[in-house]
Structures are given as structure tokens and as C-alpha cells.
Amino acid sequence: MSSQPKMHKPRSQTEMGTKQMAHSGHIKITVMRYRPAQDDKPWPETFDIAWTYDMSILDALGVIKDDLRPELAYRWSCRMEVCGSCGMVINGVPKLACSTFVRDYVPQNGGTGEIVIGAMDNFPIEKDLIVDTQPFIEKLESVSPYIISKNPRALSDKEYLQTPKQLAKYKKYTMCINCMLCYQACPQVGLNADFLGPAASALAHRYNLDSRDDGAKIRFKMLNEEDGIWPCTFVGYCSEVCPKHVDPAGAIQQAKAQGVGYWAMDLFSKDSQ
Ligand code: SF4
Ligand code: FES
């Protein structure tokens, strides 16, 4: 999986062929609406929106909310791929609305001319594009996501020291913004909501790789459970959609390799009792 940051740059004239690139116009945006008190299931509502070159999908939702449907519900905060709260499904692909641009869906720019926005329905939908994050948070908490040390240092001992090489071992896995896109992408999560899933597994692996931590044995008890890391079939789509290049699929495969050792140790200690 690539670890290079993805840049959102305008396509060049050569990439676009001889066609003129569109910088503004009108486009139809369909939003899947769901109001729990009234609706059995989500339903589509289409809006005609005037777009400009720098308009993100989040901006477009803002236009709909400000001018047309003040009750439309969706989450956002930072507008810059940091808070992780604007995850949704755009034309079937899990994406952050703040870093996805309307211009890329316009036919003159190589798009289909259609934008359909829905909630991440691998989670229970609460209203419109808002989903219940509690199951995800519980999974993160379940992997003991903190340093567990055999020799905890007193404050007077000052900080734990670590070399750049030790940091590099796990740094990639610290970049997660908890956007849940990987859970929406994961076919196993779709089949079994109890599966620990990509981000929580990557988080456990992040601490297991940390030179200051001695908690791997504790975490592997959880990772080795039926709904732990083993249901992952390495489809890898979770890593493809991850906006921060965390590569949760890679983390799970590495954790599986380590897990075999812990599983064997466990078995051996049970047999010798
Ligand atoms: S691993 Fe990537 S896709 Fe999954 S929650 Fe973290 S940042 Fe989002
Ligand atoms: S609004 Fe914060 S990640 Fe999109």
C-alpha cells in the first residue's frame, strides 16, 4: 500500500485531452435522507446546485442546508481532513466530504455528472448522513489503546526516550483520524458488525510495536478472539479508502503473523498445566 500523501491537484490540459475544463456550472446532487421518526428506510432527494471550482462536497451540503433544507443532518468540524467527522458514501465510495470536490464529478472534467451522497450504512443511521459512532468507539477502547509498561516511570524520571528508528516502526499507525471510512469499506464489517475491524486492529498494532509498551500479550487475548483480527480476508479496500494512509490491512496481516506466536505460547502453557 502506498504511504505517499494523496494530493488534490487540478488535472492538466494534457490529462484532460483537448476538452476545456469546467470551472463552474450546475449539477444535480442526490442526498439520501433518513428521519428516524418518519422513515422506514433512507430515501433520495435531489437538488440542483450551482458549483464553483473550489466547492467541496461538504460545501455543497452547506449550500443545501443553508438555502434549501435547514433540517439536513451531517457531521463536520475541521474542513481539512483532520477531525474525521465528515465521512460519508459518495457515489458508492467511502470518502471525506471536506476533501472531495464537486468539480471531479462534472462530465467535462471526466466525471459522471451524478453525485449521490449517503450515510456510512455499515453503522446504524441516526439521521440523514449521521451514523452512530458508539460501536466504533467501543472497538477502539477494547484494544487497551495506551502504553502498558512493566516498569512505569515516575514523573520525576521524566519522559520515556525513543529513537527515530523505534518511532518509525509504528508512526504510520498513529495517523488515524477515526473517520471510520475503513469500516464502511470492509466487507467483513458489513457481514458481521461485531468484527473488530480495520482501525481498531491497526491501533492495537500501533501500541504492540511501540518500544515503550509491554502490553502485547494483553492485547492479543482480545485480537485472538473469534471477532478479533482473524475474520479479515485481506481484501485491502480499507487501506485504499483511508485518507491518512494508515494501511490498516497491512497492520492486520502483521498482527496475524505476531498473533500466531502468542496463540502457540497460550496453547503450550495450557497443555503444560
Ligand atoms: S484507519 Fe484510515 S480510514 Fe480507518 S478510521 Fe483511521 S484514518 Fe479513517
Ligand atoms: S470536516 Fe474534519 S475531516 Fe472533514
Q: How confident is the model at residue 2 (pLDDT cuts 50, 70, 90)?
A: very low
Residue range(s) defining the domain that contains residue 203: 134-271
Tell me the ligand closest to 98's alpha carbon.
2
Given 102, 131, 160, the domain boundary residue is: 131
Percentage of residues of the chain with pLDDT beyond 70: 89
Ligand 2 centroid distance, CA of 122 (Å) = 19
Decide whether any atom of ligand 1 lies within 6 Å of the 228 Cβ.
no
Cell 421518526 found at: 37
Whether the CB of 59 sits within 6 Å of ligand 2: no
In a domain, 81, yes or no: yes
Out of 54-63, 103-112, 264-273, give the one with best mean pLDDT.
54-63
What is the CATH number for 46?
3.10.20.30
Which residues does residue 125 pair with via DSSP β-bridges, in sequence order?
131
Query: What is the model's pTM?
Result: 0.89
Residue 137 is predicted with a pLDDT of: 98
pLDDT band for position 13 (cuts 50, 70, 90)? very low
Judge if the beta carbon of residue 198 lies within 6 A of ligand 1: yes
pLDDT tens digits, one per residue of 110-138: 999 999 999 999 999 999 999 999 999 99
CA of residue 81 to ligand 2 center, whole Å: 5
- Per-residue pLDDT reduced to its tens digit, 215-264: 999 999 999 999 999 999 999 999 999 999 999 999 999 999 987 777 67
- Between CA 55 and CA 46 the distance in angstroms is 18
Residue 105 pLDDT greater than 90, yes or no: yes
Structural domains counted in the chain: 2
Q: Which of 43-47, 70-74, 116-120, 269-273 has the lowest mean pLDDT?
A: 269-273
Asked if residue 180 has its Cβ within 6 Å of ligand 1, the reply is yes
Ligand 2 center–CA 22 separation, angstroms: 26
Question: Does residue 167 have its Cβ closer than 6 Å to ligand 2?
Answer: no
For residues 97 and 158, membership in a common domain is answered with: no
Q: Is 86 in the pocket of ligand 2 (CB under 6 A)?
A: yes
**Are residue 187 and residue 246 in the same domain, yes or no?**
yes
CA distances from 105 to 51, 53, 94 (A): 11, 11, 15
Q: Which ligand minimizes its atom distance to the CA of 100?
A: 2
What residues have CB less than 8 Å from 188, skipping those under 6 apart? 195, 197, 231, 232, 233, 235
Last residue of a domain, one of 103, 131, 159: 131
Reduced to 3 DSSP states, what percent helix, strand and coil does the chain have, rounded to the nearest 5? 35, 15, 50
Residue 101 per-residue DSSP state: B
Atom of ligand 2 nearest to the CA of 98: 4
In percent, how much of the chain has pLDDT > 90? 83
Average pLDDT for residues 154-165, to the nearest whole number? 92
pLDDT of residue 271: 58
